[in-house]
Structure 1
Amino acid sequence: MINVNGTLIENAPFISSENRGYKYGDALFETIKVVYGKILFWEDHYFRLMSSMRIMRMEIPMNFTMEFLEEELLKTINVNGLAKSSVRVRLNVDRGEGGKYLPKEKTINYSIIVEKADSDFYTLPKTAEYTVDLYKDYFVAPGLLSTLKTNNKAINVLGSIYAEENELDNCLVLNTNKNVVEALNGNLFLVVGEHIKTPPIDDGCLKGIMRKQIIEVIVNSGDYVVEETSISPFELQKADELFITNVIVGIQPILRYRKKEFNTKISEDILKRLNTKLRLS
């Protein structure tokens, strides 16, 4: 069952050819993990969505409170029989129908789609290899829009096709200044000794929810130093570790970049600290 503006419908087409999210990518979304009815990092997701809607000049409905949207998420999970499961949720917000580039109305639609997630807590994926390379066909233009989770994901789609064609597990994306900004499906962290770097938001990376959590874990650890600073492609092969973060997987270590192989010692430690934080929250 899909939740469309509060109405639960069967899994069937529910948007028209005039939907602005479909026609122009005039839409935002949040990918959320829910474990046994607990929405992880819900406050962060909610405020990112509200901030993104303001940046996109969407008129936020009066009923779009944190409590209202939380209730809608849980309602959709429950009706799909997933209340006692780990769930991946996509909350999509668009500007309705009508108009060309200029919207005719100020309507806001939302939809919620849920599916069962693979695991309850965050664990390091058990893979023999996780190989990445740079995706250099197209570049991210640094700016506020590139930090939003919008439906405009052409680079991510083309990069994913490139990765499959070249037998890669993922690709790292560059901005127009030729700095590494993120992976196709998450933020990037680089480890050298006890020093950990991640690209700054100003470089054009997604303002990731898990990125924020990992930075807080590192700062509170007392064992590592984290720095938000630009990362050159030349630094990748000099790193001790590279890892990708998103709210569904948590941490995905990169095991190989070109001829360089990486360990996962720091990744494992940070992941343990993250899970401890979740248990205490």
Structure 2
Amino acid sequence: MINLNGNLIATTDVLGADNRAFLFGDGVFETVKISSGRILFLEDHYFRLMSAMRIVRMEIPMDFTLEFFESQILKVAEAQRVQDSGRARITVFRNPGGFYLPTDRHVSWVITASPLENAGYTFDDSNYEVDIFKDFYVTAQLLSTIKTTNRMVNITGSIFADENGLDNCLLLNENKNVVEALQGNLFMLSGDQLVTPPVSEGCLNGIMRKQVLKLAREIDGIVVSESIISPFDLQKADELFITNVIQGIRPITQYRKKAYVSDLARNLTDKLNATIAQE
């Protein structure tokens, strides 16, 4: 089952060939984690989606409130029986009509949901190797910071990683600075300095990125900053990890010939789960 504009329908009754997200990538989306009947970081997801819709000049429906957003996601989660531990994606797309210039600025939306094995965040420090993907770049602009339905850099990068036996790849912007990973934001620890690229570099304005920044600033002895990371900095780092709202915090164990520890990532995962339990 999927939730299409508030109606639960069979997944065979899918979107038409005139869908603008299909034709032009004219859509934005949010992926959320559902745990014990609630959406984690609900307000952050809602306001990021509203911001994305404003940035691309979509007409936001008057009834699209925080409470409506929550109820519609949980509606399909319950129908799919994943309300205890699941992931859901809401995709918002402009209504059909026009070519590059839409003839209708109003939107429709669809929500899908699927199960997750764990309701909380587990720590996994098994071997996880990355390299830099150089075929295409992320542009340092506002559009790069939101989730749109045009993810060709991530798709081709994922294929490259698979073809080369890698678990993930790191993406560069046009200035050849490290921006993020294919599936999340990047953090780098060097000594007592924890760094993640600023949003102005073109990285996704990640929900888990925000949580990790907050938690890391509460740890004594760790200096947190949002600063530019060059590929040369990676070789000097003690620890690298990737964050996203579904997986949580994923340590990188190897970049080329450099191996990394994962102590801070483990500490942050523990703090993250404790924070969720208290909410």
Q: Secondary structure at the match of 1:12?
A: coil
Distance 1:74 1:131 in 2: 35
> Does the Cα contact within 8 Å between 1:60 and 1:108 map onto a contact in 2?
yes
Query: What is aligned with 2:210?
Result: 212
Task: Give the drift of 1:240.
Answer: 0.5
Task: Give the drift of 1:126.
Answer: 5.2
Equivalent AA in structure 1 for residue 193 of structure 2: H
Q: Secondary structure at the match of 1:223?
A: coil
Deviations 1:87-141 (A, max 9, x none): 11111100021110011112210110000012111111252x1000000001111
Aligned residue pair count: 279
Task: Give the drift of 1:10.
Answer: 1.0
Equivalent residues in 2 for 1:120-131 (5 A)? Answer: 120-125=119-124, 127=126, 129-131=127-129
Query: What is aligned with 1:241?
Result: 239
Equivalent residues in 2 for 1:1-281 (5 A)? Answer: 1-83=1-83, 85-125=84-124, 127=126, 129-281=127-279
Equivalent AA in structure 2 for residue 72 of structure 1: Q
Distance 2:56 2:244 in 1: 23
Distance 1:126 1:199 in 2: 23
Distance 1:145 1:99 in 2: 22
Distance 1:61 1:121 in 2: 33
CA RMSD of aligned residues (A): 0.9
Task: Give the drift of 1:43.
Answer: 0.1
Task: Give the drift of 1:80.
Answer: 1.4
Distance 1:97 1:125 in 2: 43
TM normalised by structure 2 equals 0.98
Equivalent AA in structure 2 for residue 77 of structure 1: A
Q: Where in structure 1 are there 5+ consecutive unaligned residues? A: none
User: Residues 240 and 126 from structure 1, CA distance in 2 versus in 1: closer, same or farther, beyond 3 angstroms?
Assistant: closer
Q: Where in structure 2 are there 5+ consecutive unaligned residues? A: none
User: Residues 270 and 143 from structure 1, CA distance in 2 versus in 1: closer, same or farther, beyond 3 angstroms?
Assistant: same
> Does the Cα contact within 8 Å between 1:179 and 1:232 map onto a contact in 2?
yes
> Does the Cα contact within 8 Å between 1:21 and 1:96 map onto a contact in 2?
no
Distance 1:13 1:159 in 2: 31
Q: Secondary structure at the match of 2:213?
A: helix
Deviations 1:57-84 (A, max 9, x none): 001000100001111111111111223x
TM normalised by structure 1 equals 0.97
> Does the Cα contact within 8 Å between 2:125 and 2:262 map onto a contact in 1?
no
Q: Percent identity?
A: 50
